[in-house]
Amino acid sequence: MSQHFLLSRASKTLTLAQVVRMSDVEAEKMFREVRWPETNGQPICCHCGGTDAYDCRRPNGAPRFRCRACKKDFSITSGTLFASHKLPLRSYLLAIAIFMNEVKGKSMLALSRDLGTSYKCTFMLCHKMREAMGSELKGRIIGGEGKEAEIDAGYFGGHVRPANYRKDRIDRRFAENQSGKRKAVIVIRERGGNTLPAVFQSESHALSFIQSRIAKGTILQIQKGPADMERGQYPRSRI
C-alpha cells in the first residue's frame, strides 16, 4: 500500500519547529523568497515593477525598500493580504504553518492562544488566508491534451434527524422530505496536477462549471460508485 501524502516528507514543507527556530532575519529571508521567487528574494517594486531597489529600513528596524526608479517605498508585504501588518513576520509564518498543517481545521480560539493575539485578530487573519487560497482558484483550468482528470462529488450538510419510531419515519430521498440545505461538493482533480473544488445545489448544476474548467483533449475518469472503485473501473470520456 502506498504511503499517504500527509505522512510523507514532502508534506512537511513548513513546520512549527522550523518557524520557532528561525531568527527574525531568517523569517524575513523566507518571506522575501516566497514573495519574489523569480528574483531569488531580491525586491521588486509593487508600484512600477522596477528591480532596482535598496534597503531603507524604518527607525524601528522594520524592513522597507525604496525603488530607485519611482522613488516610492514598499515592504515585503505591500500589495498582499499582510499589508500594513502590525505583528512580527514570524507570527504570520506561525499562523500559516498552523493553519495549513491542521488537517481537520483549527479553532480560532485555539489559534489565538497559540499566537498570543485576540480572537478578532485571529479570525480576520484566517479569513484573509482563506480569501487568498480562494483567489488562486479563479480561472484555473484543469487538464489538457493527453492529460487525465478525475471528477467526484459528495453531498454534505442538511441532515434531517429521523423519528424515533420506525412507523413515523419518512423517506429522506424525496425532495419534499429534505431540508434544502444539503449541498454537493464537486472536485476535479488532474492526475499529478491541480485540484479544483466547488459547491453546488446538486450535481446537475455543476455541468457548465465542469465544461468551462476542463481543457479540451482531457481524458475524464468519472467515479461511478463503490463497486466500480473496488474493481478499479472508471467510466472514461474525452472532452
Query: Which is it for strands 219-222 and 148-156: parallel, antiparallel or unpaired?
Result: parallel
pLDDT given at position 120: 93
Phi-psi region of 81 (alpha: psi -120 to 50; beta: other; left: phi over 0): alpha
Same domain for 13 and 94, yes or no, is yes
Alpha helices in the chain (DSSP H): 16-21, 24-35, 89-101, 108-115, 119-135, 207-213, 226-231
Q: Indicate the number of domains in the chain.
A: 2
Same domain for 20 and 80, yes or no, is yes
CA distances from 181 to 104, 136, 152, 201, 219 (A): 22, 27, 20, 8, 33
Residue 54 domain-assigned (yes or no): yes
148-156: strand order across its sheet: 195-200, 183-190, 148-156, 219-222, 236-238
pLDDT given at position 227: 44
**Containing structural domain, residue 79:** 9-101
Three-class SS state of 189? strand
**Under 8 Å CB-to-CB from 9, ≥6 apart: which residues?**
none
Nearest 10 degrees: CA dihedral of 187, 105, 30, 113? 160
Residue 87 domain-assigned (yes or no): yes
How many CB atoms are closer than 10 A to CB 125? 24
pLDDT given at position 234: 47
Same domain for 96 and 179, yes or no, is no
- Residue 197's DSSP bridge partners are 187
CA distance 218 to 202: 23
Same domain for 95 and 172, yes or no, is no
Residues of the chain with pLDDT under 70: 1-12, 223-239
The C-alpha cell 484543469 sits at: 142
pLDDT given at position 105: 83
Residue 138 domain-assigned (yes or no): no
Same domain for 26 and 92, yes or no, is yes
Residue 135 domain-assigned (yes or no): no
Residue 119 domain-assigned (yes or no): no
